[in-house]
Amino acid sequence: MEKDKITFPNYLIQKISRDAPSYQISENYGRRGGYYGDSEEYGKSYKSICIYVQNGIGNETELFKSIAKAAFKIQSSNKRKYPLIVFGFGNTSNLQHENKFFDFGYISDKHNVNRVAETMSRISGNNTVTKAIIPELFPKVDIRSLYSGKIKIDDDDLLIIVGKKNEVFFDKKIEFKLKNKIRKRILFVEICKDNIHWQYKNYNPEYKTMVQNKQLNKNVNIHRYFSKSKLQRIKNDFKFLIKLINSSYGEFDFAIRNNYFNIYYKGNSLAKIEPKKDDLYKISINAKFFDGTKADNSIFYTSKRNNNIVLTNKQLHRFFQRKHLTELASRIKKVHNGEEIDFEQSLITDNLNKEKVIIIDRQITDYILKRKRLDLLALVQKERNKYQFLVMEVKLGNNSELKNKVASQLDEYLKHIQSNFDDYKKCYEIHFEQKKELGLIDIPKSKNIEIVKPVKGIILVGGYSGIAKKQIDELKSTFPHLKVKQFTNEL
């Protein structure tokens, strides 16, 4: 691991900061919330930060500095004092500490990065520990000698655990103390051979990890591709399905996500497929599409619970046979999510295998956008294998959002991708390479592409030309920098 290039992901700093508990400033340790003592001003910060460091990783100084810097950024908006306490854990029955804490809460605290990192390194040491157990959440000491008034971990504390992959465990006797509120305020910094996993909100091996792979990217806030091992599994196990999807001329679509993929049918998610351990796959299908179909039979899968079906790799071909997919598709047709989805789907199917425009992904979001989603993301050829992002917002001519809302949305998305360009560039260069390797992209013929600036945007308007005309004119007048393309059914 390149220890001189470790960066704490910005999206995670923002996420953890947003989760900080609120408090009334005027009630805080005698500090005044304004000119008057009875001010009702509120702030946000964690009551304390407790860092647990595995024994034997004392040489990870750059990682420790990165964590310390992030802690100060997370607490930067606070207006109250808080303790930062460093504990060590390994194969002892108690947490190790230096019988002191850092008293923080001021703007100048960021200058103490090295002091905190040095303390983490010193407490961790360099003795080899292969199975490290966190024996308690707070040390069994005379509390007055450590931090006056604090006797246990609070729901409003932030816990940061630093250790090696597959070597960190909680002692069973403290599991009952890990209430949901505390679990949701745990960040596990997992040291792997070539990367760091930043796992936040739930200390649980099954929790989906947010990966910072230093060989691929720093500060990743969008991760829509497979790890190398999962890519090889998908490539080996789903050749039959990719062949079927390619022969559907766009009616079925294979969409790569964060180490899983979705199968779409005419713009609706038909199934979510996640690789699991031991050649198992978890398949999630909406009950109204699946229940009572021919595929809903235990001869085709290992187990079923709610909407989650578990299959071995040997069962995939029989489960995803054409007859089953056709029946699921017919269920989706009955639901029919509207004309706008149909229009979006026709844009994808009518632009397959074009070198100048590649519609690379649909329903795009990331850790910062959260529930907001871009309709379509395309790559537009600039020269040879150099492409630019083209953000597509799709609306029907009779949609009331066409006048102003869609333009402000598009502007927001463009600024977001521009400000996170390196993340998006790396993500979709890998995304393209993996789709190419899986056989999902035929044209262009090059195995990889380079994505370059600037980021472009377009509003695609379909049908209802009479109703749309006035709204489009107003849209162009208000947002002259945005491109609008109208599709009509005029004969």
pLDDT value, residue 465:
72
Instruction: Give the model's confidence band at 104: pLDDT under 50 very low, under 70 low, under 90 confident, else very high.
Output: confident
- Hey, what are 196's tokens? 């760091």
- How many residues would you count in the chain? 491
Residue 50 and residue 186 share a domain: yes
Q: Is the dihedral of CA 478, 483, 488, 491 positive or negative?
A: positive
> Of the candidates 307, 336, 365, which is a domain's last residue?
336
Residue 218 in domain: no
Mean pLDDT score, 279-293: 94
Q: Report the domain count for the chain.
A: 3
Residue 119 and residue 175 share a domain: yes
Mean pLDDT score, 25-37: 39
pLDDT value, residue 474:
77
Residue 112 and residue 73 share a domain: yes
Q: Which of 9-23, 47-61, 291-305, 459-473 has the lowest mean pLDDT?
A: 459-473
pLDDT value, residue 173:
78
Longest dimension (CA), the chain: 86
Please report, for the domain that includes residue 244, its CATH number. Answer: 3.90.1150
pLDDT value, residue 145:
52
Residue 11 in domain: yes
pLDDT value, residue 271:
96
Q: What is the DSSP string of 171-233?
A: -GGGGGG--HHHHTTEEEEEE-SS-EEEEES---TTSPPEEE-TTT-SS-----S--HHHHHH
- CA pair distance 378, 195, nearest whole angstrom: 30
Mean pLDDT score, 172-187: 79
Residue 125 in domain: yes
Instruction: Give the model's confidence band at 439: pLDDT under 50 very low, under 70 low, under 90 confident, else very high.
Output: very high
- Average model confidence (pLDDT) across the chain: 84
pLDDT value, residue 195:
85
Residue 224 in domain: no
Q: Is the pLDDT of residue 46 over 60?
A: yes
> Of the candidates 286, 312, 336, which is a domain's last residue?
336
Instruction: Give the model's confidence band at 362: pLDDT under 50 very low, under 70 low, under 90 confident, else very high.
Output: very high
Q: What is the pLDDT of residues 136-155, one digit of tens each?
A: 898 876 555 565 567 788 88
Domain of 68 in residue numbering reads as: 3-212
88, with CB counted inside 10 A (0-12, 13-18, 19+), is buried
Cβ-contact 53, 86 below 8 angstroms: yes
Q: Is the pLDDT of residue 24 over 90?
A: no
Q: What is the pLDDT of residues 409-422, one digit of tens each?
A: 899 999 999 988 99
Residue 375 and residue 460 share a domain: yes
Instruction: Give the model's confidence band at 78: pLDDT under 50 very low, under 70 low, under 90 confident, else very high.
Output: low
